Amino acid sequence: MIAAAALADELADLEAIFDDALATVMPNPVALRFSDLPLDFQGKRDLVFALALLAEGENEAALIAGLAHDALVRDPAFDVAHLVREAWYYVRTSIDPNWQFDDPPASFGPALTYVGTLLRERVAAATRPAKTPSDEPGADARRALLARLR
């Protein structure tokens, strides 16, 4: 059983990474203070995705985790197991579209940590002063990262 409070903590950690990413790639012009915008987790996730800092599967996993949290807040007994499996599926297939099976049980924690880790790496790569070949880890490196986070 997943508790809303535990998932809220994981989402808050990822939301802080969204905040840092948005502040880094979208410096505040004088007329707009980014921190004053009324964006919640899902709004920030949408914006980070629109800036191409999340792959589609990573975005879907974060979206589903937020939806699961909302369902648990409404009803703490809500069974989110199907949402966890769906989020995990999207994370795995963002690494390799053919990766369909996974032995360890799915969980939001490692999936959200994985999304946050890749987001930080992409922001760092996007803000480097010199143009360099992409440092985006390949599928094998991303698969290994996800395995380590479990």
Residue-wise pLDDT tens digits, 2-36: 888 889 999 999 999 998 998 888 776 655 665 66
In the chain, how many domains are there?
1
Q: Are 25 and 127 in contact (CB under 8 A)?
A: yes
Domain that includes residue 135, residue range: 4-149
Is residue 131 predicted with pLDDT exceeding 70? no
pLDDT digits (tens, 9 = 90+) for 48-105: 999 999 999 999 999 999 999 999 999 999 999 999 999 999 998 888 888 777 777 8
Residue 38's pLDDT is 77
Angle, CA of 85, 80 and 54, to the nearest 5°: 55
Q: Are 68 and 83 in contact (CB under 8 A)?
A: yes
Q: pTM for the full model? A: 0.80
